[in-house]
Amino acid sequence: MALKMRTAKKLAIFFTSIPREKAVSIMKHFSMQTMELIASEIRSLGTVPSEVQGTVFQEISEKLVEGVGPVGGEEVARNLLMGVVGEEEARRLLERAKPKKPKPFSTITGVSGQDLATILSNEQASTAAIILGFFPPKKVAEVLSFLDDEVRSDIIVRLAQNREADNEIIERIEEIFVQKVTSSISPADEEERNNLGGPEYVAELFQNVDKQLEEELMGAVQEESPELADKIRELMFKFEDIVKLSDVDVQKVLREVPTDKLVIALRGATPEVYNKFTGNLSKRAKENLQEELNLLGKLKKSQIENERKAIVAVVRALEAAGEIQISGGGDEDVYV
């Protein structure tokens, strides 16, 4: 049975009945006004009968067991964390604790390229490009191979452009398109990607198509934006990719590159690249090149990069002339 006395007096009895350090650790969380009321009751508190003390403890114990109505939410979590780690750290913890949304179109990345192409053929090129921008480049290459020439040309031009996605539009497109796909196709798990294209994306995509389709698609980009086409070409073959050329083709490249330029380009190159070049030189030429490398002073990074780009330009020119082979298709190694 609850005692008919003020709450402050009950608390005064409770705090004077427990170890002082525990009373202090609890009371410091009270407001100043509440502590004044309790202190006043403690000052006027005389001897407390054991049965009164027991009843107070029982009542407090029942309150603790009963607790308060469990109410959660963002604000409750923030207030609890703020009391423990402060406002700024509480904000960071809540931000990290937010559940992550699945990537757009992640539920259908396993659908076959042919099935996706069939459904996408009825979409506008702009919409199709947005959808395909969230798929791995290899998957997009597969899808494009099943589309009509005009359609895939429109799509590749849009994929080559750096674009920002409006979340609301993406969510709406995903809702409609996924419903179309899942109504007739059961997707399997596959690699996920979350971007909307760009030159790097298309450069990687081109590495998964055959030479004929690559030239067709590059032609579409070239017609729309020569600048974008140049960026894609630059990304498709890099100086480090020299190691992927055959020795015969490297020798053809070396005939077009002056030794003094090669020396600069090889400054700081990986052992693989260095060995690829020097392995196709005569013993005497290799010794001369190494000697010139040893005599080189400090070089600007831009100077080295310029010479490497010049060698890459030689590789592209030789490939365009049909002198060397740096591309492939299917499951073979693909470099361009």
Going 177 to 178 to 184 to 188, the CA torsion angle's sign is: positive
How many residues belong to the chain?
336
**CATH 1.10.220.30 domain span(s) along the chain:** 106-232, 238-320
* Ordered alpha helix ranges (H), the chain: 7-15, 20-27, 32-43, 50-66, 74-85, 87-96, 113-120, 125-132, 137-144, 149-159, 167-182, 199-206, 211-224, 226-236, 247-255, 259-265, 271-278, 283-295, 301-320
- Asked whether the predicted pLDDT for residue 287 surpasses 70, the reply is yes
Q: Please provide the CATH number assigned to the domain covering 238-320.
A: 1.10.220.30
> How does pLDDT run across 42-72, given as a tens digit for each residue?
877 778 788 888 888 888 777 766 655 555 5
At 263, is the pLDDT very low, low, confident or very high (cuts 50, 70, 90)? Answer: very high
Q: Please provide the CATH number assigned to the domain covering 106-232.
A: 1.10.220.30
**CA 21, CA 3: separation in Å to the nearest integer?**
26
Per the CB < 8 A criterion, the answer to whether 194 and 103 are in contact is yes
> What is the rounded average pLDDT of the residues 154-176?
83
| Nearest residue to 111 (alpha-carbon basis) of 132, 85, 82 | 132
Res 7: pLDDT = 82
Quote the percentage of the chain above a pLDDT of 90.
Answer: 13
> What is the rounded average pLDDT of the residues 166-189?
74
Res 284: pLDDT = 92
Res 264: pLDDT = 93
Res 255: pLDDT = 93
Write the CA distances from 126 to 159, 163, 176, integer angstroms: 9, 11, 15
Q: 23: exposed, middle or buried (C-beta count within 10 Å: 0-12, 13-18, 19+)?
A: middle
> How does pLDDT run across 202-256, given as a tens digit for each residue?
887 876 677 788 888 888 888 888 888 888 877 777 888 899 899 999 999 999 9
Higher pLDDT, 210 or 280: 280
- Asked whether the predicted pLDDT for residue 333 surpasses 60, the reply is no
Write the CA distances from 23 to 11, 19, 235, 237, 332, integer angstroms: 10, 6, 70, 73, 76
- Asked whether the predicted pLDDT for residue 189 surpasses 70, the reply is no
